[in-house]
């Protein structure tokens, strides 16, 4: 096909809008089925993914055929995260306004690097930054960068921390790198999340050089065990352990760090949102004393994927760590989003973040967060205590349970997953195999918890009957 014919074909599809009309129709069909489907795809759905194993054809394909293939073989192999009984990872659902805004923003197809590329996204980033500082009660000088998720947000925050500490030590890490540089010390609790360790490795600070601090039975860093800090240190804390949901003692830990001139980062991927709930805000007491924070929208806030945020008290350090330069880059008087992220080209995820916050308001956000906590407490209350041990206190929206032996725990979980009423994932806690239940979707109802608990209880009974001591 020559160039003119190809262009004519593509322009025809663009102008008559048929691919977009079909995409909307099939998307609505997918949504209609989401609340009726089993939570994990069937074996047949997984096997049918083999239909995508094909060589790339020489000739162009019809957009309508492409969409039909995706719907026929792709949709059944998705997980209905929009529904309320997926508890396997800390994955939220999506709010209607947020998904609708994301759909609109997809047609806008904005690159949010600079104000001159997208004035609307520049404005929304400015507005959402202000809202977040208010919601989280952070210092006025705090800057926000909108990234794909906590993995990147943590990387940005620790890069800013590294920049800040080295500047105070008279070392230009951008120009001179880490060769012969003063040593930066990383101090972290033993339960720190894998994404923090990834960021430490990517920044060249060395996993083998982390100074590990003991944690209590809930996974909180033991403040009295923190080594002597100095102005070479980055202290990593958690707002919501990924297993227990526990929050570190920010007041005490940050006090030690501030006295020593150390940098404090709080990883709050899902837990930082507790600050916005009157009933749970005490969990975040003292978090404003830190230097940087990482949080996701696509977890507790229930924005669509993907939506991560880095927040940093030291704007200059964040910009110096991440800013790109080039003769063609047009920085201006308005917000230029690429100053606060590693990416230059970046989709307009702030649109759905703005829509999610605006659709809820402060009262709605408070209610959404509290509801996740209440549904988790409901699960804890209703689970059969003769069959399952409760491993953690329910601090927020995380629950871990286990049977009397690791083998029983594994078999029960496998049967629950096979039944497809709900889906939870395996983990380990203090050497014991556990089942981790993360309640993150606003769509999770009391009935969803009833059904899910009943599935767990019946699966145990099916396997072991009244054998609670194995």
Q: Do 141 and 257 fall within a single domain?
A: yes
Q: Do 151 and 283 fall within a single domain?
A: yes
Q: Do 106 and 236 fall within a single domain?
A: yes
Q: How many CB atoms lie within 10 A of CB 291?
A: 25
Q: How far apart are CA 157 and CA 321, in angstroms?
A: 9
Q: How far apart are CA 383 and CA 22, in angstroms?
A: 44
Within a domain: 412 = yes
Last residue of a domain, one of 76, 110, 134: 76
Last residue of a domain, one of 356, 386, 414: 356
CA dihedral 45, 47, 52, 54 (to 10 degrees): -160
Within a domain: 62 = yes
Q: Do 211 and 120 fall within a single domain?
A: yes
Closest CA to 310 of 287, 290, 294, 288: 294
Q: How far apart are CA 421 and CA 448, in angstroms?
A: 9
Q: How far apart are CA 109 and CA 20, in angstroms?
A: 14
Q: Do 312 and 426 fall within a single domain?
A: no
First-to-final CA distance of the chain: 69
Within a domain: 364 = no
Predicted TM-score (pTM) of the model is: 0.96
What CATH number is attached to the domain comprising 244?
A: 3.40.640.10
Query: Residue 332 has what pLDDT?
Result: 87
Within a domain: 469 = no
Kindly report the CA angle at 29 between 24 and 34, in degrees rounded to 5? 120
Kindly report the CA angle at 372 between 370 and 373, in degrees rounded to 5? 65
Question: For residue 403, what are the domain limits?
Answer: 370-464
Q: Do 42 and 120 fall within a single domain?
A: no
Within a domain: 196 = yes
What CATH number is attached to the domain comprising 375?
A: 3.90.1150.10
Asked if the peptide bond before residue 306 counts as cis, ω within 30 degrees of 0, the response is: yes
- DSSP per-residue letters across 383-420: S-TTT-EE-S--SSSEEEEE-SSHHHHHHHHHHHHHH-
Which region, left, alpha or beta, applies to residue 272 given φ > 0 means left and ψ of -120 to 50 means alpha? alpha
Last residue of a domain, one of 330, 356, 382: 356
Q: How far apart are CA 424 and CA 438, in angstroms?
A: 8
Q: How far apart are CA 175 and CA 352, in angstroms?
A: 37
Within a domain: 86 = no
Q: Do 42 and 20 fall within a single domain?
A: yes
- Provide the domain count of the chain: 3
Q: Do 43 and 110 fall within a single domain?
A: no
Q: What is the pLDDT along the chain (470 residues), one digit of tens a residue?
A: 678 888 998 999 999 999 999 999 999 999 999 999 899 999 999 999 999 999 999 999 999 999 999 999 999 999 999 999 999 999 999 999 999 999 999 999 999 999 999 999 999 999 999 999 999 999 999 999 999 999 999 999 999 999 999 999 999 999 999 999 999 999 999 999 999 999 999 999 999 999 999 999 999 999 999 999 999 999 999 999 999 999 999 999 999 999 999 999 999 999 999 999 999 999 999 999 999 999 999 999 999 999 999 999 999 999 999 998 887 888 889 999 999 999 999 999 999 999 999 999 999 999 999 999 999 999 999 999 999 999 999 999 999 999 999 999 999 999 999 999 999 999 999 999 999 999 999 999 999 999 999 999 999 999 998 665 44
């Amino acid at each position: 096909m020559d160039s003119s014919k190809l262009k004519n074909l593509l322009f025809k599809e663009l102008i008559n809008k048929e691919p977009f009309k079909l995409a909307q129709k099939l998307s609505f069909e997918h949504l209609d089925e989401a609340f009726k489907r089993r939570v994990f795809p069937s074996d047949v759905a997984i096997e049918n993914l083999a239909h995508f194993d094909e060589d790339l054809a020489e000739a162009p394909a019809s957009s309508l055929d492409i969409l039909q293939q995706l719907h026929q073989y792709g949709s059944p192999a998705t997980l209905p995260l929009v529904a309320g009984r997926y508890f396997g990872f800390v994955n939220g659902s999506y709010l209607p306004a947020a998904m609708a805004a994301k759909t609109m923003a997809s047609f806008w197809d904005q690159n949010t690097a600079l104000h001159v590329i997208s004035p609307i996204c520049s404005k929304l980033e400015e507005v959402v930054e202000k809202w977040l500082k208010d919601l989280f009660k952070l210092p006025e000088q705090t800057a926000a960068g909108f990234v794909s998720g906590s993995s990147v947000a943590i990387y940005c925050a620790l890069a800013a921390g590294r920049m800040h500490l080295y500047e105070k030590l008279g070392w230009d890490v951008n120009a001179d790198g880490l060769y012969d540089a003063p040593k930066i010390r990383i101090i972290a609790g033993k339960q720190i999340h894998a994404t923090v360790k990834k960021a430490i490795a990517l920044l060249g600070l060395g996993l083998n050089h982390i100074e590990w601090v003991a944690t209590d039975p809930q996974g909180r860093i033991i403040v009295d065990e923190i080594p002597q800090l100095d102005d070479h240190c980055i202290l990593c804390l958690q707002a919501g352990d990924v297993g227990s949901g526990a929050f570190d003692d920010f007041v005490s830990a940050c006090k030690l760090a501030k006295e020593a001139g150390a940098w404090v980062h709080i990883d709050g991927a899902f837990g930082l949102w507790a600050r916005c709930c009157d009933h749970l805000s005490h969990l975040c007491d003292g978090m404003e004393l830190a230097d940087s924070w990482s949080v996701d929208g696509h977890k507790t806030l229930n924005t669509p994927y993907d939506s991560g945020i880095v927040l940093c008290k030291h704007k200059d350090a964040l910009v110096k760590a991440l800013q790109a330069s080039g003769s063609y880059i047009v920085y201006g008087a308005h917000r230029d989003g690429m100053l606060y992220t590693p990416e230059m080209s970046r989709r307009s995820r702030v649109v759905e973040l703005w829509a999610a916050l605006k659709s809820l308001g402060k009262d709605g956000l408070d209610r959404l967060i509290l509801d996740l906590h209440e549904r988790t407490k409901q699960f804890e209350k209703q689970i059969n205590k003769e069959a399952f041990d409760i491993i953690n206190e329910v601090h927020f929206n995380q629950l871990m349970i286990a049977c009397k032996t690791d083998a029983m725990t594994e078999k029960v979980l496998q049967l629950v997953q096979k039944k497809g009423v709900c889906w939870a994932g395996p983990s380990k806690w203090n050497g014991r195999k556990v089942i981790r239940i993360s309640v993150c979707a606003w769509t999770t109802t009391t009935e969803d918890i009833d059904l899910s608990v009943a599935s767990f209880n019946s699966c145990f009974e099916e396997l072991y009957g009244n054998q609670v001591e194995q």
